A and B are shown apart, each in its own frame.
Chain A
Amino acid sequence: EADIYQTPRYLVIGTGKKITLECSQTMGHDKMYWYQQDPGMELHLIHYSYGVNSTEKGDLSSESTVSRIRTEHFPLTLESARPSHTSQYLCASSESFGELFFGEGSRLTVL
């Protein structure tokens, strides 16, 4: 089983709140990713990082931001949540050309 952890698993919040989704991995992987997945649909890469202090935006425009201050930690932040942010957010990590290891996901509902 992969050593990558996401918290919270489920979150219901009101519009305008600031939230941070946590992601940590203990495998020492340099590369980390955030994907957004709507129910039964494809995954969209929203952020990725190739190492400490390295972050890039992905293919899907997102109002979220990320940081990578430590190798093992890659949190995602929404400054002001809206109902359109309701989705499942999946964090993953990998070595250079290996498979991605995914966390269990954070399902966000914004009312």
Chain B
Amino acid sequence: AQSVAQPEDQVNVAEGNPLTVKCTYSVSGNPYLFWYVQYPNRGLQFLLKYITGDNLVKGSYGFEAEFNKSQTSFHLKKPSALVSDSALYFCAVRDPDRGSTLGRLYFGRGTQLTVWP
């Protein structure tokens, strides 16, 4: 079965410091991995994805994520956090090798990132 774990409900970091939001996954095949961000009272916005190729993926707003197959992780990172990065972050996985082309994503529970000035 597909699953995604975001072990931290909250991450707090000072502005200008690097940030990491953790994500681990469990799929039976090769994963497609995604990160989304949600601001208050808004829908989810796509940040970046890993399908294949380079393990380091760069996305919107200066975010990047590193796919680590041996650790089944896909942590979201940013070298220098901004106050405006404060939001709810969701990791998601799709297993394209699972039966049909369902196209469904399985989401983690979300991590609330707070960046203080």
Complex CA gap A14/B77 in Å reads 44
CB-CB under 8 A for A42 and B109, given A48-B104, A97-B32, A99-B49: yes
Complex CA gap A40/B88 in Å reads 8
- Complex interface: chain B residues within 8 A of A102 (CB): 36, 43-45
Quote the shortest CB–CB distance from A70 to chain B (angstroms).
19
Complex CA gap A105/B41 in Å reads 8
- Complex interface: chain A residues within 8 A of B90 (CB): 42-43
A101 touches B104 (CB 8 A): no
Residue of A nearest to B110 (CB): A42
B94 touches A42 (CB 8 A): no
CB-CB under 8 A for A99 and B46, given A31-B103, A40-B88: yes
What residues make up the interface of B, taking CB atoms closer than 8 Å to A?
32, 34, 36, 41-46, 49, 51, 88, 90, 92, 94, 96, 101-105, 107-110, 112
A99 touches B43 (CB 8 A): no
- Complex interface: chain B residues within 8 A of A96 (CB): 101, 103
- Complex interface: chain A residues within 8 A of B51 (CB): 97
A41 at interface by CB-CB < 8 Å: yes
Binary interface profile of A, 1-44, with partner B (CB < 8 Å = 1, else 0)? 01000100000000000000000000000010100000011110
Other CB < 8 Å A-B pairs besides A6-B43, A97-B51, A100-B92, 11 of them? A2-B46, A40-B88, A40-B110, A95-B103, A96-B101, A97-B32, A97-B94, A97-B103, A102-B36, A102-B44, A104-B42
- Complex interface: chain A residues within 8 A of B110 (CB): 40-42
Binary interface profile of A, 35-61, with partner B (CB < 8 Å = 1, else 0)? 000001111010010100000000000
Residue of A nearest to B92 (CB): A100
Residue of A nearest to B4 (CB): A42
Selected from A6, A41, A50, A90, the residue in CB contact (under 8 A) with B44 is A90
B43 touches A103 (CB 8 A): yes
Complex CA gap A11/B15 in Å reads 36
- Complex interface: chain A residues within 8 A of B103 (CB): 31, 50, 94-97
Complex CA gap A50/B36 in Å reads 22
